[in-house]
Amino acid sequence: MTKITDDNLVAIMVNQAGFEYDIHSLVKAFYPACNVKVFIKEEQEPLAQNHGNACEGKESSGLSLPELMIDFTKEAVLISLKGGKPGTASFAEKKAEISPDMPRPEVKNRLKQVLYKTLSEYTGRKLPWGTLTGIRPTKIPMSMLEEGKSSKEIMKYMEDVYYISKEKGELAIQIAQREKEILAPLHCENGYSLYIGIPFCPTTCLYCSFTSFPVFSWKEKIGEYLDALDKEIEFVAHSFENKVLDTIYIGGGTPTTLEAEELKRLILKIRNTLDLSNLKEFTVEAGRADSITPEKLAVLKQYGVTRISVNPQTMKQETLDFIGRKHTVLQVKEAFAMARKAGFENINMDLILGLPGERERDVFHTMEEIQKLNPDSLTVHSLAVKRASKLNLWIEENGISSLNNTDEMMQITARGAMQMGMAPYYLYRQKNMSGNFENVGYAREGKYGIYNILIMEEKQTIVACGAGSISKRVYPEGRIERSENVKDVSQYIERIGEMIERKKHLLDDC
């Protein structure tokens, strides 16, 4: 057995398996710059003495890294913490009562509550989302609204059970109320939405972990890729001929890396194969400004696309260059103007907060430029560090201190969205988010991204076509099953029959 000796490690020893993910996620929220690992006691030797090296950044407040011991008994969860300033180690123990017949969700809540209290007292920090570590914090208020609970009752529950801040609780409830209204007219049980993935990009951005391939290397294969998509779309039309199609979302990658004729071919296939008579939204993620042309926009508009995205991520040129966007701020403005000229009245823009080197003044400048363009919706992402991204490798070499997302940055974008007449309408969180914040979508009345809500709230079956896409079947009782397509483009083309069989198995008798 190997001793645990990493000076940048927050190690947690647990006497039984079962809650490792929940423990890791909550501890990581307090120590985002550190390595966090959960070990089962029998599998490791005792912890080597921590030498007091704090993780990079301010989150440790001068304290050495803690050593945590979590013991489950029949009557309680016991948490012991060793730590303190070097040479003056302190020791604390906390307890949460449980019982053998207690449901697992309640045991999990009590575990996370006592762990949160321990780390909050030790670090002097409170997390805005409290013990909530899942990606869908609005699901809780949504389900309580459906039970007829009032906003006041929901807020009290969120504060008492999850230690959520008043600000975040009110945001989650407000969004859940709006989502409930937006989803009411949809055919959640007798309908579906369609996702089509175009896994090609001009270049791969520093932060990206999505399935994407440089389009210049795959030009000769795009026709074959569209042939495979045709087969999947035909399968969907046959399998769902008695279902209502509510929304379509073409994402990526960057769908507008396709040429105008290729876009026309794809959209005509959709229109000629599927019943779009009840369609409420047709989104194409135009995304990168360097992939947008008047000809492509004309095709999208002519063939019924109702909503597009033009995504700058930031309006600071130095950051765009650094993250590998390969387009200018001016090109973003020109692409947006082209989209308006083409007749699009529902244009979204995406921003990312916490990009390397950016501070409040940069976010303020970006919002000033966005307000001049006046989009119809705005999606604000808190940078999430993905294991498969180039950014993760960059952090390993350069440290995490240049990634800075603050409450003030979030407020700058929220105020800017409000000044443009927008309100928050959907929200989700991701692992390893800068500042432990969230992603929020803002929109004007009637300009919401309905598909965005559906993918987050898991209220409707979503059939996904294309390399790396994941279909999600939602059963009436709330159970969810998934089917994945292979990520590699060549494999997807070669094994398209297998991809369809996977869907058939998932969606049979749907």
Res 252: pLDDT:
86
Residues 195 and 163 in one domain: no
Residues 461 and 390 in one domain: yes
- Residue 241: phi and psi, rounded to 5, are -65, -20
Where residue 23 sits, what CATH number does that domain have?
3.30.160
Residues 88 and 236 in one domain: no
444 occurs within a structural domain: yes
Closest by CA position to 474, among listed 246, 314, 313: 246
| Per-residue pLDDT band at 51 (split at 50, 70, 90) | very low
On the question of pLDDT at 90 being above 80, the answer is no
**Is the CB of residue 86 less than 8 Å from the CB of residue 71?**
no
pLDDT tens figures, 6-50? 567 899 999 999 999 999 999 999 988 788 999 998 755 544 444
Question: Which amino acid is located at 108 in the chain?
Answer: K
357 occurs within a structural domain: yes
pLDDT tens figures, 262-305? 999 999 999 999 999 999 999 999 888 999 999 999 999 999 99
Give the number of domains in the chain.
Answer: 3
pLDDT tens figures, 386-399? 565 666 666 666 66
Res 60: pLDDT:
44
Res 390: pLDDT:
63
Residues 82 and 171 in one domain: no
Q: How far apart are CA 116 and CA 83, in angstroms?
A: 16
Strands 9-14 and 67-72: parallel
pLDDT tens figures, 420-447? 999 999 999 987 776 678 999 999 999 9
Residues 43 and 175 in one domain: no
238 occurs within a structural domain: yes
Res 352: pLDDT:
92
Arithmetic mean of pLDDT, 380-390:
73
Between 407 and 152, residue with greater pLDDT: 152
Q: Which DSSP symbol is given to 290?
A: G
Res 162: pLDDT:
97
HEC letters along 485-500: CCCCHHHHHHCHHHHH
347 occurs within a structural domain: yes
Residues 266 and 408 in one domain: yes
Boundary residue ending a domain (181, 212, 246): 181
Q: How far apart are CA 510 and CA 239, in angstroms?
A: 8
| Per-residue pLDDT band at 211 (split at 50, 70, 90) | low
On the question of pLDDT at 416 being above 80, the answer is yes
What is the biggest distance separating any 2 CA atoms in the chain, rounded to whole angstroms?
73
pLDDT tens figures, 97-117? 999 999 999 999 999 999 999
**Is the CB of residue 402 less than 8 Å from the CB of residue 356?**
yes
Residues 306 and 398 in one domain: yes
129 occurs within a structural domain: no
Arithmetic mean of pLDDT, 396-406:
67
Residues 347 and 241 in one domain: yes
pTM: 0.89
Residues 335 and 479 in one domain: yes
On the question of pLDDT at 143 being above 60, the answer is yes
307 occurs within a structural domain: yes
Q: How far apart are CA 90 and CA 14, in angstroms?
A: 20
Residues 14 and 143 in one domain: no
Residues 394 and 303 in one domain: yes
Res 87: pLDDT:
41
Question: Which amino acid is located at 173 in the chain?
Answer: I
Residues 76 and 154 in one domain: no
335 occurs within a structural domain: yes
Q: How far apart are CA 358 and CA 355, in angstroms?
A: 6
Q: Look up residue 172 and give its two tokens.
A: 């989650």
Res 34: pLDDT:
83
117 occurs within a structural domain: no
Range of the domain at 173: 139-181
Where residue 341 sits, what CATH number does that domain have?
3.80.30.20
In angstroms, what CA-CA distances link 172 with 136, 144, 380, 463? 10, 12, 15, 27
Closest by CA position to 297, among listed 338, 266, 349: 338
Res 49: pLDDT:
44
Arithmetic mean of pLDDT, 85-95:
60
Question: Which amino acid is located at 79 in the chain?
Answer: I
